[in-house]
Amino acid sequence: MIEIERKYLVVSVDYKKESQKNNRIVQGFLNTDPFRTVRIRIKGDQGFLTIKGNGNEKGTTRFEWERQIPVNEAEALFKLAEPGSIDKMRYEIRVGEHLWEVDEFFGENEGLIVAEIELKHEDESFERPSWLGVEVTGQSKYYNAQLSKNPYKKWQH
């Protein structure tokens, strides 16, 4: 139940050509407190309930518990969600031994594209794809829970 993840901005759309799979994801939050974020997600035809804890000092490691739930239950829980939601397309790209998940955001977060990689341990090495930009691991403004409250379009660029 521990997630080890690094997050990067994406600098080109070349990832789309390399993608093996993509899914539309809509998510809302029952709680956006960083110590106990509770997320509802609909990914394709599946629903999920996820609880995440606060990250470590580097922002790479945190508690994550997730369960699949029926879509109709996820839709019902959306009615209880805090204001703001996330709408994105997730692309899955295998690079070497790792799976990259690239999220292209829509709506109030349009223009933001973020890549994530899950690792077995914090210092694990991995191959960097050509479309990978600057690392934003641990920068809370890039967490989906924060993007639902302070969307990318409202940032000073």
What tokens were used for 1? 């139940």
pTM: 0.95
Please list the rounded mean pLDDT of every run of 10 residues in the chain (157 residues): 96 96 97 95 96 92 96 97 98 97 98 97 95 96 96 90
What pLDDT does residue 72 have? Answer: 97
What pLDDT does residue 96 have? Answer: 94
Query: Where do the domains of the chain lie, and which CATH numbers do they carry?
Result: 2-154 (2.40.320.10)
Place of tokens 């703001």: 84
CA 96, 128, 106, 3 torsion: positive or negative?
Answer: positive
